[in-house]
Structures are given as C-alpha cells and as structure tokens.
Amino acid sequence: MQYRFLSLLLVFVIGGTFLMCRTYPDLNKFVAVPAPIENPTDSAKIALGKELFFDTRLSLDNTISCATCHKPGFAFTDGLKTSTGINEQKTDRNSPSILNSGFLKTVMFDAHLKTLELQAIVPIQEPIEMGHNMKALIPQLRAIPEYQEAAQRIFNRDFDAYVLTRSLAAFERSLISMSAPFDHYIKGDEKALNADEKAGWKIFSEKLYCTNCHAPPHFTNHEARNNGLYKDYSEDKGRFRIHLDSSDIGSFKVPSLRNIEITDPYMHDGSMETLEEVIDHYAAGGQGHYLQDKTIVPFELSKKEKKQLMAFLKSLTDLSFLERL
C-alpha cells in the first residue's frame, strides 16, 4: 500500500543533544498490540497505569518511580550504565527500553517472565530498585482516594496488586514506536530512506548475520542468547541464575534495536558507550566464550560500509510517542 508522506523535520532534545526527526503520518495508530484475555486494554486502564508509572510513592522512600529508570526522553531507558535505585544503590544491569514491550514474548534480560503483569512486581519489590513490600504498599495506595476510586470504576474492586499490575501493564502496552523512517520505507515510500540508509539495510540483512537475532519488525527474536560479550562471565552469568542450567551461562535476552540511536549505553551491563563499539565487538567475532552463539563470526566492513550500517540503525528512530504522552 502506498502512502503520501510529509517531509517535515521535528526537533527533539534528548540528554542535551538535538535530534532532527523526520516526521510522517503516524503508522503507530495502525499497529495492533496483543493483550491477555484477562487484561484487555482500554483508555481508562492506560490512564491509571500512567499515573502509577510516574508515581514515586511506589518506592519505599518515595524517591523512585518506574519512570526514574524508564525516562520517556531516552526512549524509556535512563541513559546510565546501570540504573540507580533507592538509597543511591546501583543495579547490576542496564535499563532496557519498554517501548513496544506489548510485543515481547518474554521480559527481563533473563527472558524468564512471560507477561508484563508478572514483570511489574519485580522492580517494586527488588531491594536495590524500589525496595517496597507489596503487603505494605497496597494499603498505602488504596488509601489514596484517586487510586481507590479508579480501581472501583475500572475493575469493580478495591485497589490491590491485581489493579496495580494490570494497570501498569496496560500503560506499557500503549507505548508504541513503530513509525520510524524504516517503517515507512518498508510500507512503500522509497524516499523515506536515503541511499546510505538503504545500503546499510542491505548490509544488515544480507551481508551480515544481524537478522538472526534482530529480525524485523521488532528487531529482536525475543530469545536469550550468548553474544560473546565476555570470555568469562564471572559475576553476572545471565539466565543461568534462574534455573542454574550451565548451558545458560552468558545468555541475555536479545534487545530490540528500535530507537538504538538514543538508548546508549549498550549491552546488558551498559559496558559499551557507542554504536561503533558495538559494531566492532561483532566484527571481531565476540570474545570467544565457549557458549557464544555460533552465528557470531568475524566480518569486515569498509569505512563506508560502517557508515552506511550506522545510518540504517539510526533510521529505526521514532520519537512520535513523545507527542502522545
């Protein structure tokens, strides 16, 4: 199907950096996001979830909200190597974007939770993140008239853990970012990408092995893989910590590449600051961990090809969600 597209540029300020964003008719409104049968999405539920998402009262000392680690201006990451929780404690891992999380088949870097409803409880009770206890938190939130009224109106029940997790999950499913220049190109607008971006797409999809793990349209395969980041995963062994299965050592969920231009630093531990570092890591064939994914092998790119690959990756940037918040 062919579309007519606008050629306007929209300026966003992300972490002090000006991004010139090409704007087009919003494809996101045509995107259907799956939701569990027991938690259908509606506007009232999303609105309640949004209030909860930005509410610091969900943390033990009233200093941390979900948005502390998932800032809208950073594509719902926080721009830090690893996140900061209550009492200035540092987490073990980098904060992933939650844009398009409604499409995820698994959540968390360990790829062990199946739903956003289950995930919502984790950071709230994690001692170094929000540090609260659900038994103490729920009565506090129920005592807030606005939350209790919304729970009765939307769910026909008192505010409880069910209301909290279903509302947060509904809000997260509303965060769609699939109207990047690349999306418009795939829909038929040849002018949506320039020559370098098109060449970069061919390098990404045909010359290299990138689509084995970062397959469109979501640019992830939703699986936990060992990308050879380290030869020895001495402290954080990834998915291994869930089932203590030695074959899971070094395996972390493959992140989406959407909005990767503004979700630095990269890798599960935020150990790489630039996209150039990431490309160099894969070009070298990883660090050679004995469980490293077999598809990761060395490759060579010319200076021009590297520039083109970078240009393609930046064509996955879509900040239109900021206008809808």
317 CB-near residues (< 8 Å, 6+ apart): 19, 21, 180, 181, 259, 260, 261, 262
Residue pointed to by tokens 């600051």: 273
Q: What is the per-residue pLDDT across 43-100, written as a single tens digit (0 to 9) for each?
A: 999 999 999 999 999 999 999 999 999 999 999 999 999 999 999 999 999 999 999 9
Say what the pLDDT of residue 104 is. Answer: 92
Distance CA 66, CA 105 (A): 21
Q: Binning pLDDT at 50, 70 and 90, where does residue 230 land?
A: very high
Average pLDDT over residues 233-257: 96
Characterize 246-263 residue by residue with b for buried, 16 or more Cβ atoms within 10 angstroms of its Cβ, and e for exposed.
eebbbbbbbbbbbbbbbb
Enzyme catalytic residues: 129
- 8 Å CB contact between 200 and 226: no
Please provide the average confidence, as pLDDT, over all residues in the chain.
93
- 48-62 pLDDT tens trace: 999 999 999 999 999
**pLDDT attached to residue 5:** 32
Q: Return the CATH fold of 192-324.
A: Cytochrome Bc1 Complex; Chain D, domain 2 (1.10.760)
Q: Which residues pair with 21 in a beta bridge?
A: 10
Please answer whether residues 311 and 200 qualify as being in contact, where contact means their C-beta atoms are separated by less than 8 angstroms: yes
What is the model's pLDDT at position 122? Answer: 95
- pLDDT of amino acid 152: 98
Tokens of 161: 């853990």
Architecture of domain 43-173: Orthogonal Bundle (1.10)
Beta-bridged to residue 17, according to DSSP, are 14
| pLDDT tens track for 178-210 | 999 999 999 999 999 999 999 999 999 999 989
Q: Can you give the pTM of this predicted structure?
A: 0.92
Distance CA 73, CA 144 (A): 28
Tell me how far apart the alpha carbons of residues 324 and 305 are, in angstroms, rounded to a whole number.
36
- Asked whether 75 and 320 are in contact (CB, 8 A), the reply is no
Domain ranges across the chain:
43-173, 192-324
